[in-house]
Every structure is written in C-alpha cells, then in structure tokens.
Chain A
C-alpha cells in the first residue's frame, strides 16, 4: 500500500505541451505512471510521447472516462483557471508544480477544492511518488535517477522542499530503508495540503511505519503537526530535519521558499525545534542522522493497535 497514488492511479497533465511538462510526461511514463491525456488550449489532436492532447479537460473525460488526478504545469497567471477546470470536471487529486503564484490565487484554488471534496498538493512542489508504483510530478527527475534514489519500504516522507525530498529518500535508500509514499508539499506560505493533513492518510496506511519530514523557518505548519500528533496519539514515529537555522539571526529577510520569511517569534527554527521535540518528534541536525533515528524509533515503537 501507499497513500494518494498507486500504480492504478490515472491522471492528466494540464499544460502538457510546455517545455517542463514535456519532460514531466516522459519521466512519469518511464516510471510506470498512467497518463490518459493532456490539455493545452488550441493544441487538440497532437500527442506528447503518445499521450493525446485535448483543448479542454472535459474532452479528456469524454474520451477516456473519469480522471483521478491532474498535474498542473502552466504559467502562474493561468494556474487558478486550470485548477478550477480540473475541479469542475470531477478531478480529486491535483498536483500543482507552478511556482510564484500569489497567495490569493492559491487560497481560492484550495477553497474550491475543499468545496468539491478534492485535494491539492503544492503549488511550487515536485509532486508525489509511491516508489515502484508510480509518480506524479518531477520528483526524482528522469526514471533511472528516480529508481536510484527511491525504493519501496516503510518510511513516509513529507517535505516543503522538492529537492530535499529526494536527498532524504536517497539517504534512506542507501541505509536500506525504503519509502511508502513521499510527498513534496510545496514551499509556499499557503499550500493545498499540510503535514498535519497528510498524517491521517499515513496513519491509515499499514505499510507506513515511520515518517521523515523536512522543515524550515516560517509559518505554523510544524506547530499544527505537533498538535495533531499529540491529539491523536499517533502510532507513527516522526523524525524531522530543520534547515535554515541561520535565519533566526536575520528576521524579515527572504530566503528559500516564499513561505520561509520569519515574521514572528513563533516561526523561528529554534521555536519550531522546541515545539516538535515537545511532541515527541526527533529533530536531526544533519540529513545523514535520519536513518539511524528512524530505525531506533521503529524498534522501540508501541505495539500496533487492534492487533
């Protein structure tokens, strides 16, 4: 098992004829994902690596039946409309890779998704991978590189940084720890799905035995995760890596992702580390400490409930 994405999940790519999207199409197909169609207005009738292109999402649904997911890779000014189109055509899982989308547009997409019972991952993310099942997005890059970094196993990864998702997975794989599903959730101040919102999915997935997260200053997402874990007495040990510790000395400057601007005392690295630790989450100083911390925590894990 895995969360969000299995080898049977079918999806489309909106903006499929764009330079980045053409690469995405190839990398995702090579990894074994099922892409039923693509959408670029005015380009109906063409194909990208054998994937038929349509003008509207509606036309993909008409020709191929219900579509489960969509990757949106269109310029920032067009992203909201593309997400609305996917949502109004019944798509329930949307990965938005586009970056530099103003917060208002993101909030509007997320709110409509909620009204439609759908989920958005991103924006400004590299998507989802369930190793050896499929991937949805640029995570891991070309299929050969993806197979080198990601392997199937018990660890779920959630990360605000796309690149660090792969760095962590690669480190785990080298230590013999595979992954169930890895989600690059995006680095913006507002994202479709937060750590705390993914936790119930991992909690319900029998294959997942532990969680690794990449974290950085800015925002309240770690506080929300800490609260969730304490409130639900989670069965899953969580190990976090905190980057950007230097930013605590430089408030108000913008580094890293759009969400990584420290505005108050509650979103500094030091405050987050303290909050995570008080919820029983191990915070690693270096990436290479993560595998040993996870192994240790998995061994001393409380017995599975209901068994």
Chain B
C-alpha cells in the first residue's frame, strides 16, 4: 500500500529525519498562506501515487505567495499516469549541492532486506545501476539479528563517501532501516536525499510502501496519517464494482472471492484460484474473448459467497454470460460452487443454462456438482477438457 509523499514525510518526521519546512495545501488560499509562512521561494508538488511528476507538470516553483496561489489549480489539474493530485505540498526551495539516492527494500532472492545507496541521486536509479555500478551499493542486513549503524556506514562508504558526509549520512540511513522493519514496509525510499550548500542533509522526496497484509498491525500510524481503511492505493483507485466485490468477500469468512477487478468486456468470469485465474484470463483473451472482470475464488467458498459473486457480475452492465472455470481443485468443493452460481443466476432472474457459458471445475465432489448442472441444463466439462479449451468454448458462445 503506497503512501503519498506527504504521508511518507509525516512518518519520517516522527523519526526525526531531517526535512525542509513545508505544508499541505488543499486550495489556492492555503497554498498562498503556506508560501507566505515559508517566506522565500517554494516548490509545489502535486500529491499523486505515481512517479514522473516533474515531466507531467505536476511540480512547479514559485517565488512569491501570489505566484503560489496562481499555480495551485494547474498543478492539481496536471495528469500523472492517469491520476490527478489530491492536494499540493508546498515546501521551501532548498539550495542543493549534491543529490543522493537511498532505498530500503526486500530482496526475494537473498530473502533479506537490502539497503541501496548511491551518490548519484535524482536520476533514474536503474540507469545508474547499468552505467555506473560502482556508484550504487547493495548492502543486505538481517531481519532477525540485532542491527547496528555499522551496516549503514558500510552502505554509504561502499560508494566512496568519506569525511563528515559519511558521518552525517550514516544515522539517516540507519534510521530508514529501522523504519523499514518497524512498520512492515516493502519500500522506504528517499530520492533525492540532498546535501545542501551549508553541508546539511535533508529529505527532498520520500516514497513509502506498506505491506497490505500488515495494515492491521499499524492502525495507530495509519489513523494518524489519515489513511482510510477502504483505500487500496493500487495504481488506480477501486471502482464501485470492485468495492462491492470486496464487500461480497468480507460478508462471509468461508473461502475467498478476492481480487475482483473490473474490465470492459461482456464475458463475466467466476474463476479461481490465484494461478488458475491468471491462466484462465490469458486463455479467454487468447481466444479473442472480452472479460468483464477478473477474480479469484477458492479456499472452499460457501454457497452464499459463490452466489453473491455471481449476482454481482451478472448485474454489471454489458455482461451477457459468465464462465465458471478453475484448475483441478484440491480444497474447494465443486458441488458447493455449482450450487452457488446456479442460485446466483436464478436470483438474478436468469436461466442458468442461458447465462453460464461453461462450467469447468474438476476435482473434489465433482460428480455431485455435475449432477446439479445437468439438472439445470448447464454445459460443463471435466479435466479431460483443458482450461484453454474450456475458455475457448465460452468465448465461442459470445456471438
């Protein structure tokens, strides 16, 4: 779950990281007041969850409070990867001598956290890694043994930084390592970390991602930052359909009907589970089908959950039929899913044999499941029909 820049900085401020003076503005008047309080040139940054703000015109500079007021509206309107700002952060413009890059993230191969540090900050770090590898250090550290500042010192020193810069940077790097572990973050990044002309270091831009699964452990912090529980903070905000999908899942603890994502097509998908859904979605597209949604059912969902999900998908404008497909299931009962989707069709006022394009779920209790489908005249198949083929049969019925 991604944090906005102002939230990342609020978290850093709690940990006494060095930050410039700044304030969040939600109107031109507030932007003017913030610039007046800073009493000097300011930088104004749109608060969006996506990078590339400068190029998109979502970051601008103002010398006077009046200028800041005038820039507020165009900054808010600037589109960054399809998003517009939720507010504007007004900060003092600092005289920068040099920019550094600092990031802490997980390395899935080493299975440990890693500090990435570079004295070539501000630019694309992947480019630095390719063209100047000696200017980017990677320093792993334990998630279980006590950590100490020497790890931070080694990360900074590894790119050739010494003298008072080394001694000023070490505590900043160490603090970020601690923040990373304490709040179950998947990314804690400062880019640029700036050295000012007077020799001090400050955080110019911050980027924090918290693990979605760990949100429950950090309720106090999230409440303090004003993060609402329904905010998913994905690359785009959830649609009404997706929010309803989440409600269907949460209304019943038995099984999973997760990751409901909306698409524009006419074929509704009741598919599962994690890997099976990815495989089936690919297969539908490969056959030229137009999925209306993505989802993942599994973990032995109740009749009610399968029924409610079916109803939600059938109610979506443009959906003509649904395909109910999974890989060979281990812990999901075929008969329960069959009963649920048939019930969902009937409760939506539709005949199951007309709207279920195909039912392909082989595995436990399949005989019982197939009996239910037969009774309602629904086309079904067992494991002798591949997932790819089943998707093709569904798409062929879409006219």
Contact = CB atoms under 8 A, between A and B. Distances in A.
Interface stretch (A7-15, A64-72, A216-224, A298-306): A216-224
B276 interface: yes
B70 to A, nearest CB: 33
A132 to B, nearest CB: 18
Nearest to A227: B109
Contact of A139 (B275, B330, B388): B330
Interface stretch (A44-52, A106-114, A201-209, A232-240): A106-114
Given A102-B214, A164-B276, A216-B278, A141 B364 contact: yes
A134 to B, nearest CB: 16
Interface in B207-240: 211-214, 217, 234-236
A164 B184 contact: no
Interface in B140-160: 142-145
B108 interface: yes
Interface residues of A, number: 66
B181 A260 contact: no
Contacts, number: 171
Given A76-B213, A102-B213, A253-B235, A164 B275 contact: yes
Contacts of A40: none
B109 A174 contact: no
B213 A246 contact: no
Interface stretch (A88-96, A165-173, A271-279): A165-173
Nearest to A267: B108
Interface in A135-173: 138-142, 145, 149, 159-164, 166-167, 170-171
Contacts of B273: 161-163
Contacts of A149: 328, 383
Contacts of A252: 234-235
B108 A189 contact: yes
Interface residues of B, number: 55
Interface string B156-181: 00000000000000000000000001
B327 A167 contact: yes
B327 A286 contact: no
A253 B234 contact: yes
B108 A190 contact: yes
A256 B274 contact: yes
B126 interface: yes
Contacts of A104: 143, 181, 184, 211, 214
Contacts of B67: none
Contact of A112 (B144, B186, B279, B330): B144
A111 B112 contact: yes
A224 B275 CA distance: 20
Contact of A159 (B217, B275, B281, B294): B275
A108 B144 contact: yes
A139 B235 CA distance: 34
B111 interface: yes
Given A104-B143, A252-B234, A214 B275 contact: yes
A219 B234 contact: no
A257 interface: yes
A258 B329 contact: no
Contacts of B111: 106-107, 110-111, 190
A225 to B, nearest CB: 11
- Cβ-closest 4 pairs across A and B: A161-B275, A252-B235, A244-B278, A141-B330
6 contacts: A102-B217, A108-B143, A167-B279, A190-B108, A243-B275, A286-B387
Interface of B: 106, 108-109, 111-113, 126, 142-145, 181, 184, 186, 211-214, 217, 234-236, 259, 261, 272-279, 281-283, 285-286, 294, 296, 298, 326-331, 362-364, 383-384, 386-389
